């Protein structure tokens, strides 16, 4: 569904990524892990069109979309969920969902909303609440709901579990696996919490200082003691 080929990117002239390549298929979670500042968030931003691409390309459903602006990529079915600022905080949950579905007809909107709330029933009781009154985990659910309102096919999620209580982390990661298993989505999951991301993903990408050090079976990464210990703090 999504193929990233030899992507080099950064901010204006600043180089951050030195050639990253991978694919994400339907029903697949790719976990992107690596130390702070290694370029994980930059990778998502470059794919979505929010960082400077210096070379390589992004192919979505067989089409080169590298240079398209973010809103066009979103329309094609690519969603980017940044760690913060992924919702409209001053609006209610309901208004956020409506915003996400603003191009839909009234009937479609109603149908889509029901679909999304049946997948994410946790947020149903909060529809009338302003997002800034929600917990971190609930906000992540709202961001996910917004992507689903647009029927995103690939969701790129940046550190959704940062600063959440362990119980909430578990719930959120379970929902992410359901994005794959129930809805058939492709997911790129950037996680600080390397072990839990590696446990749920199908493939893992390790970035270190903007270079792709590993791409493959997450179990191979976990069992590579040097890599796992040096870069991920996994024993
Ligand atoms: N908007 C920006 N302008 C200039 N440099 C930036 C910008 N955003 C990030 N960088 C730099 O790019 C490099 C990679 O940052 P990035 O945020 O992609 O890392 P990360 O792997 O997501 O780190 P973390 O785990 O802390 O979130 C860092 O050196 C950072 O300082
Ligand atoms: Mg980051």
- For helices 93-100 and 136-149, the axis angle rounded to 10 degrees is 30
Query: Residue 198 and residue 33: Cα distance in Å, rounded?
Result: 9
Nearest CA to ligand 1 atom 30: 37
| Span 86-99, pLDDT tens digits | 899 999 999 999 99
Say what the pLDDT of residue 26 is. Answer: 96
Specify the pTM: 0.96
Residue 225 confidence class, pLDDT cut points 50, 70, 90:
confident
Give the mean pLDDT of 33-47: 96
Question: Atom 3 of ligand 1 has which residue's CA nearest to it?
Answer: 11
Amino acid 233: pLDDT:
79
Closest ligand 1 atom, CA of 83?
Answer: 27
pLDDT digits over 21-31, tens only? 999 999 999 99
CA of 80 to the centre of ligand 2 (A): 13
- Structure confidence at residue 235 (pLDDT): 66
One DSSP character per residue, 140-177 reads: HHHHHHHHHHTT-SEEEEE-TTTT--HHHHHHHHHHHH
Cα 64 to ligand 2 centre (Å): 25
Nearest CA to ligand 1 atom 4: 11
pLDDT in tens, 50-77: 999 999 999 999 999 999 999 999 999 9
Contacts of 121 (CB under 8 A, 6+ apart): none
**How confident is the model over 119-142, as pLDDT tens digits?**
999 999 999 999 999 999 999 999
Domains, the chain, ordered by start: 1-77+153-235 (3.40.50.300), 81-151 (no CATH)
Higher pLDDT, 162 or 48: 48
Q: What is the pLDDT of residues 159-209, one digit of tens each?
A: 999 889 889 999 999 999 999 999 999 999 999 889 999 999 999 999 999
- Ligand 1 contacts (CB < 6 A) are 11, 14, 16, 34, 36-42, 192
Instruction: Supply the residue whose CA is at minimum distance from atom 6 of ligand 1.
Output: 11
Residue 218's pLDDT is what? 96
Nearest CA residue ID for atom 16, ligand 1: 39
Top mutation candidate among 11, 17, 34, 42 for ligand 1, by most atoms within 8 Å of CB: 42
């Amino acid at each position: 569904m999504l193929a990233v080929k030899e992507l080099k990117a950064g901010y204006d002239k600043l180089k951050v990524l030195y050639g990253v390549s991978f694919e994400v298929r339907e029903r697949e979670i790719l976990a992107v892990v690596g130390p702070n500042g290694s370029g994980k968030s930059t990778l998502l931003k470059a794919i979505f069109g929010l960082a400077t691409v210096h070379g390589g390309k992004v192919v979505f459903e067989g089409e080169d979309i590298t240079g398209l602006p973010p809103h066009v990529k979103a329309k094609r079915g690519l969603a980017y969920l940044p760690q913060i600022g992924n919702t409209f905080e001053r609006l209610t949950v309901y208004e956020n969902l409506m915003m996400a579905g603003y191009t839909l007809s009234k009937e479609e909107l109603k149908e889509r909303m029901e679909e999304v709330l049946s997948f994410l029933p946790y947020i149903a009781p909060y529809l009338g609440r302003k997002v800034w009154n929600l917990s971190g985990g609930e906000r992540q659910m709202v961001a996910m709901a917004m992507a689903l309102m647009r029927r995103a096919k690939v969701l790129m999620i940046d550190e959704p579990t940062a600063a959440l209580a362990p119980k909430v982390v578990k719930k959120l990661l379970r929902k992410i696996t359901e994005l794959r298993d129930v809805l058939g989505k492709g997911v790129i999951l950037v996680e600080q919490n390397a072990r839990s991301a590696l446990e749920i993903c199908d493939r893992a990408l390790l970035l270190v200082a903007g270079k792709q050090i590993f791409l493959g079976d997450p179990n191979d990464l976990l069992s590579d003691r040097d890599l796992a210990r040096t870069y991920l703090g996994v024993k």
